[in-house]
Amino acid sequence: MNEFDVVVIGSGSAACAAALRSAKGGLKVLVLEKSAQLGGTSAMSGAGIWIPANHVAAAAGVADSRQDALAYLHAVQPPELKQRDSRRWAAFVEAAPDMLQFLAENTPLEFQLVAEPDPFTEAPGGKVFGRMVTPRALSRRLLGRFTNRLRRSTLPHSFTYKEAVDLDIYHHPIKAGFKVWHKLLRRWLTNSGGQGTALMVGLIKGCLDAGVEFRLEARAVQLVRDAEGRINGVDVEQTGQTQRIEAARGVVIASGGFEWNPEMVARHFPGPIDRIGSPSSNEGDGQQLAALAGAALSCMDQANIYPCLPTRYERRPSGLPMTFQAEPHSIMVNRHGKRFVSESDFNIGEALDARDENGAPVNLPCFLVGDHRFLGAALPFRWYASYDPGWVKKAETVQELAQKLGLPAEALEETITRWNAHCKTGRDTDFQRGENSWEAYKAHGEATRLKPIDKPPYIGMTLNRSILGTKGGATTNERGQVLREDGSIIAGLYAAGLAMANPFGTRAIGAGTTLGPNMTWGYIAAETILQQNR
């Protein structure tokens, strides 16, 4: 029972991609999930997937190439990462289209294009359309005895990602529901869902059909070495007992981030954090296992950071990722009462997490400020804000609002006055809000979304970092093999997804550049096991 070729730690998209490719290559595979639910952070996601030069776009006649994608990565990623990560960027670009084709052929997943542009469309190699894909809805019943073990989400997975984008359900939830009510009814009757639900149903079903074994509530506590120092097994705690599981061809760590580990978060993300939008099982187990095995950990200060609305999940406060900070009649300010970024900037998380030379945050705490018209822009905002009573502050004057938020009143008044002047001219000369292709797209047809803040009562709330998943962990090479500090390979050990030192960190290159690379690195690790580790 405990002899396998490959053991995969974690059950999210990176883990299942590794497990499926290994199993389809003829290997006996075990997936270990420490929680009682399958799917990890991926099951909670919107399931937007960034894959360049993919077969879905090619079938639709959309021109793209691996060369364009690589040029895009080199143009938009931080230049200091080029020497460290350029080989892994090239490996991702080479493997990503093959990975998506493999999933389409070996799972029930059916992918469709989403009309979202690259956020840096103007950069060399950027594309307006064709790199964002997402799965169509699938029934949880495909999972048989695991139907009720699939992790649920804070997002409304009754809609697909494409529907959520096309129908703008955040601003028009009732109208969107009426437009696709027949689909929603059918999904309710068939226990179906879109987004992360569909993605993980498809991946897990593909794994089950390929003979992959899943064990839940099974926590990996130690990696096992053979006499030559090669990783060839895992010690696992399950039902109060520890057992040793053999992994003759290797172990893949794909266990997610460490955002629910307070000590690790305090060390690598100093300063305020508003919310966490992932499963509480993401406690850094994989990172700690890798370190104990001698792995070098890097990128530990990188994460998927995005504004989140308050909600509850697993009976505790949680976060729902949403682009509410770019609504009309509002702006974002730092602790000095000054704007510091376009509120529509795709990489708003990078601006929130900006650090000084000592690693301390330069803008936090941050705030969203506006007038009462902000509250009427989207019905869901009021609903979710009710989960955190007292979060939204109201005041009859800007000075009073500044006092309630702990901001310098004179600076805040100057900032709002300057913003209102931009609104009169129709152009944000400070941060060019709404002017690039991504921001114009997100404006939903409104030319600038520059609306003044001049109708009391005024409102304000904290808008600090919220973490959807950390992106630091075991350092790997372009083949997914885990490395020591000296660059040597730890034989038999691989890492993928949010448990690896991800080559795509806090700066995202597209709306799906967490899931797309995560699945690709799981696929790459499995390919390496199949080709090299015999």
Question: Could you list the pLDDT tens digit for every one of the 534 residues in the chain?
Answer: 899 999 999 999 999 999 999 999 999 999 999 999 999 999 999 999 999 999 999 999 999 999 999 999 999 999 888 888 999 999 999 999 999 999 999 999 999 999 999 999 999 999 999 999 999 999 999 999 999 999 999 988 999 999 999 999 998 999 999 999 999 999 999 999 999 999 999 999 999 999 999 999 999 999 999 999 999 999 999 999 999 999 999 999 999 999 999 999 999 999 999 999 999 999 999 999 999 999 999 999 999 999 999 999 999 999 999 999 999 999 999 999 999 999 999 999 999 999 999 999 999 999 999 999 999 888 899 999 999 999 999 999 999 999 999 999 999 999 999 999 999 999 999 999 998 888 888 877 665 579 999 999 999 999 999 999 999 999 999 999 999 999 999 999 999 999 999 999 999 998 889 999 999 999 999 999 999 855
- The residues pairing with 250 across neighbouring beta strands, listed in sequence order, are 6
CATH number of 316-462: 3.90.700.10
Q: Against a cut of 0.75, is the pTM above it?
A: yes
> Whole-angstrom Cα distance, residue 286 to residue 254?
7
Sheet architecture: strand order including 273-276: 273-276, 465-470, 303-305
Q: How many CB atoms lie within 10 A of CB 264?
A: 19
> Whole-angstrom Cα distance, residue 146 to residue 139?
12
Task: Supply φ then ψ for residue 68, to 5 degrees.
Answer: -65, -40
Which residue spans of the chain are classified as CATH 3.50.50.60? 3-256+467-532
- The residues pairing with 192 across neighbouring beta strands, listed in sequence order, are 139
**Encoding tokens for residue 89?**
């960027």
CATH architecture for segment(s) 3-256+467-532 = 3-Layer(bba) Sandwich (3.50)
Look-up of token digits 């296992």: 289
> Whole-angstrom Cα distance, residue 360 to residue 291?
25
In 3-state terms the chain splits into helix, strand, coil percentages (rounded to 5) of 35, 20, 40
Strands 132-135 vs 330-333: parallel, antiparallel or unpaired: unpaired
> Whole-angstrom Cα distance, residue 88 to residue 476?
9
Which residue spans of the chain are classified as CATH 3.90.700.10? 316-462
